[in-house]
Amino acid sequence: MFKNEISKLSYYEVSQILEAAPDDFLIVILNGESIQTWEQYILLIEEKMRFPTSCIDSIDRYEDWICDLDWLGKSGYIIVIYNFAKFMNDNPQIKETIFSGFEELILPWWQHEVEECSPRKISPFNVYLVD
């Protein structure tokens, strides 16, 4: 059984994971150096994950959409944040909110809760942080 988690990895380790990732995984690559606000983060996530509506004014809506993703038809999800040490340097509270959401809601949802609450299957969903 896989484990959905947030991991700090080297460039080499992430490149190996990305090379081995199945073709039907969604891979989202972010440059943490250029993401300093909620707006910058959510606009990229909305675009790359093709959210049906904007979440710029609602973290709850963002968490709802990222726990759905049915429209993508993918079997797994990977988010890589390069230059993580610079990600949200100006907004540590928003950074904490985003990662608390991953740890407490999003990753557990895709690890096991999705099958309990919907007809969909559990899916790998991992976040890799690289400096």
| pLDDT one-digit tens code per residue, 117-126 | 776 788 999 9
Average pLDDT, the chain: 94
Question: Residue 38 falls within a domain, yes or no?
Answer: yes
pLDDT band at residue 112 using 50, 70 and 90 as cut-offs: confident
The pLDDT value given to residue 1: 55
- Indicate whether 62 belongs to any domain: yes
Strand partners, 8: 129
User: What is the domain extent for residue 102?
Assistant: 6-130
* The overall pTM is greater than 0.85: yes
With respect to residue 23, please indicate whether it lies within any of the assigned structural domains: yes
CATH number where 117 lies: 3.40.50.300
- Helices 59-66 and 92-101: crossing angle in degrees, nearest 10, is 30
Flag whether 121 is in a domain: yes
Residue 59 within any structural domain of the chain: yes
* Structural domains counted in the chain: 1
Alpha-carbon span 4 to 11, nearest angstrom: 19
* Residue 30 within a domain: yes
Note whether 104 and 59 are within 8 A (CB): no
CA 55 – CA 48 distance, rounded (Å): 13
**pLDDT tens, position by position, 1-32:** 578 999 999 999 999 999 999 999 999 999 99
- Would you say residue 1 lies in a domain? no
Whole-Å CA distances, 40 to 5, 43, 44, 46, 87: 23, 6, 7, 10, 11
Give domain status of residue 78, yes or no: yes
